Amino acid sequence: MWLDLKAEQRPPDLQAGQSILVVDQTLTSTGWNPAPVDPARNFEQQLAGNQLSSLASCSGTGVGYCRYDYQRSNKRLVVVTVPASQPDEAGRVARWWMESTTLNPAH
């Protein structure tokens, strides 16, 4: 068995405007695990319009951004959504990025 390390370093192929429900299903089926630092509070789940375990937080003001955190190996994937036009669609992906979860002792 061999691994494509380059693929492991790239963010998943997400698209702005995708439903977070679809994205969550795709990510979890490809080895990304929900990994928020703290569980979301009830009001954040209401703002997000879902009960996804990857929900990390939601802004209570302004546009209504919500953050979802996932982890695979030593990489964290952060997905930020904005509210969808229809409440039953949950949020729509606005942007995403990857972070390393390893600590650099030199800093």
Chain segment 40-96, per-residue pLDDT in tens: 999 999 889 899 999 999 997 767 899 999 999 999 999 999 988 776 678 999 999
Amino acid at 5: L
What is the per-residue pLDDT for 4? Answer: 45
What is the per-residue pLDDT for 80? Answer: 97
Please say whether the beta carbons of 89 and 50 come within 8 A.
no
Domain ranges of the chain: 14-100
Give phi and psi for 38, each to the nearest 5: -125, 150
Q: Quick one: 50 exposed, middle or buried, by C-beta within 10 A (0-12, 13-18, 19+)?
A: buried
Give the alpha-carbon dihedral of 67, 96, 12, 37, to 10 degrees. -30
Q: How confident is the model at residue 5 (pLDDT cuts 50, 70, 90)?
A: very low
Q: How far is CA 104 from the centre of its chain?
A: 24
